[in-house]
């Protein structure tokens, strides 16, 4: 009996080229969004990112800096100064939008209807009771463009939200003071709405916040207080991994 040994040499570089080609091909499909004129354009999202659209907007550092500040103040109670209180309202509003607007978009895309029509049909949704101002605060938000957040899981949903948001911004801007939005500007060269430079750096002060209309009348605590308490509870749960740190932080609370 004669044994035959077959040796196969595989060039590792070939696999690297294949993987690079796959990543490039995948990013071409996932890193687009809809511009003001309704066309799909490349976004500035890095292909290496594990999330194409993130709540930490790629165009604003405010979210990242505020989240760091929130983590540092998770255990300091709920007595906030005016600026921190305003941030807390925005944080609560954005959480409400994430929970309420996401199913609205999914429903609207599925049924091929507008956002307003979807809100009317979803009577149990929180936004069904919202004042018209919820739209303004959603599309002109100091924490970054709504269409660049990871609330939406498909390219179709992102394109839908982008088109809706751009149309609303275009409608609201002319009736605002100085005919401009508070946190976003329209770049005529790219035909895109982008965050103002001062907002991007975190230098622009947040001078107003949404009216708290999403309060549950059955709950005595305001949405902001409940939101702050949930954050504090999550922070405590994270700290259980480090007992000594957890003990010190718990003592600070008590």
Residue 91 counted as domain residue: yes
Residue 38 counted as domain residue: no
- The whole domain housing 61 covers 53-253
Q: Where are the alpha helices (DSSP H) in 112-222?
A: 115-121, 133-139, 155-172, 197-200
Residue 188 counted as domain residue: yes
Cα–Cα distance, 102 to 107 (Å, whole number): 9
Residue 24 counted as domain residue: no
Cα–Cα distance, 129 to 67 (Å, whole number): 29
pLDDT, one tens digit for every residue, the chain (254 residues): 455 444 444 454 544 544 454 444 444 444 444 454 444 444 433 333 333 333 344 444 444 444 444 433 332 333 344 577 788 889 889 999 999 999 999 999 999 999 999 999 998 999 999 999 999 999 999 999 999 999 999 999 999 999 999 999 999 999 988 888 999 999 999 999 999 888 877 777 787 889 888 876 666 666 667 666 766 676 677 677 777 766 676 666 55
Residue 9 counted as domain residue: no
Number of domains in the chain: 1
The candidate with the shortest Cα–Cα distance to 210, out of 129, 138, 148, 160, is 138
Tell me phi and psi for residue 229, to 5 degrees. -65, -40
Residue 8 counted as domain residue: no
Residue 88 counted as domain residue: yes
The answer to whether 57 and 144 have CB atoms below 8 angstroms apart is yes
> What pLDDT was estimated at residue 149?
92
Q: Which two tokens stand for residue 239?
A: 């700290």
Residue 230 counted as domain residue: yes
User: Tokens 């209807």 appear where?
Assistant: 113
């Amino acid at each position: 009996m004669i044994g035959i040994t077959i040796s196969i040499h595989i060039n590792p570089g070939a696999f690297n080229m294949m993987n690079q080609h796959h990543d490039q091909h995948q990013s071409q499909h996932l890193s687009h969004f809809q511009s003001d004129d309704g066309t799909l354009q490349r976004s500035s999202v890095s292909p290496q990112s594990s999330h194409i659209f993130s709540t930490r907007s790629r165009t604003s550092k405010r979210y990242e800096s505020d989240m760091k500040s929130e983590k540092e103040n998770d255990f300091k109670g709920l007595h906030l100064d005016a600026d921190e209180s305003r941030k807390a309202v925005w944080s609560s509003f954005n959480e409400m939008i994430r929970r309420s607007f996401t199913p609205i978009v999914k429903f609207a895309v599925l049924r091929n209807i507008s956002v307003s029509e979807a809100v009317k049909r979803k009577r149990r949704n929180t936004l069904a009771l919202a004042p018209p101002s919820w739209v303004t605060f959603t599309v002109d938000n100091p924490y970054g463009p709504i269409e660049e957040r990871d609330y939406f899981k498909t390219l179709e949903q992102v394109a839908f939200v982008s088109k809706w948001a751009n149309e609303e911004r275009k409608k609201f801007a002319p009736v605002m003071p100085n005919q401009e939005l508070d946190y976003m500007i329209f770049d005529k060269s790219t035909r895109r709405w982008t965050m103002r430079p001062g907002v991007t750096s975190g230098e622009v002060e947040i001078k107003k916040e949404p009216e708290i209309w999403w309060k549950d009348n059955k709950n005595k605590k305001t949405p902001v207080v409940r939101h702050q308490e949930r954050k504090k509870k999550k922070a405590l749960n994270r700290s259980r991994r480090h007992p000594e740190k957890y003990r010190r932080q718990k003592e600070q609370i008590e």
